[in-house]
Amino acid sequence: MVDTAGKAVILFDGVCNLCTTSVHFIIRHDKSSYFLFASLQSDAAKEILLHFPSKKIKLDTIVLFEDGTIYDKSTAALRIAKKLNGGYKLLYFLIIIPQFIRDFGYLFIAKNRYKWFGKKKKCMIPSPEISAKFID
């Protein structure tokens, strides 16, 4: 398994414009450098997800691998927000909303993300300034 000691890994759809924009947003607001990143299409993501065969992860979700546990959809997004600098951590209070309701909204956006935000032909390639935050 990828060494992630003291870090959390965010797995994202590497061809989704909304997803890659979100990754850049997280990097800007992760002042403690807590998060590492890998596209769901990468070997690193496949290696992590192999340890969780009961979770059926698709490319339409964000996945957070933290402390040996994986979280997806709205729960992953809220747990990520909780670790960001600034007022974004306040969004974590939404965790009190039942997951099936939160995920309904999440999946609606996920289903339409390519139509609304577009799609790349290839996975995102990180710039040299942020490449250390990506695992492969």
Q: What is the per-residue pLDDT across 57-78, written as a single tens digit (0 to 9) for each? A: 877 789 999 999 999 999 999 9
pLDDT at 1 over 60: no
Average pLDDT of the chain is 89
pLDDT at 124 over 70: no
Name the one residue in this structure whose structure tokens are 């300034």.
129
pLDDT at 2: 53
Euclidean distance between CA atoms 101 and 117, whole angstroms = 23
Residue 64 has a CB neighbour count (10 Å cut-off) of 22
pLDDT at 128 over 80: no
pLDDT at 53: 76
pTM: 0.90
Name the one residue in this structure whose structure tokens are 């061809």.
15
**What are the boundaries of each domain within the chain?**
8-133
Residue 1 C-beta-side C-alpha neighbours within 13 Å: 12
pLDDT at 30: 95
pLDDT at 32 over 70: yes
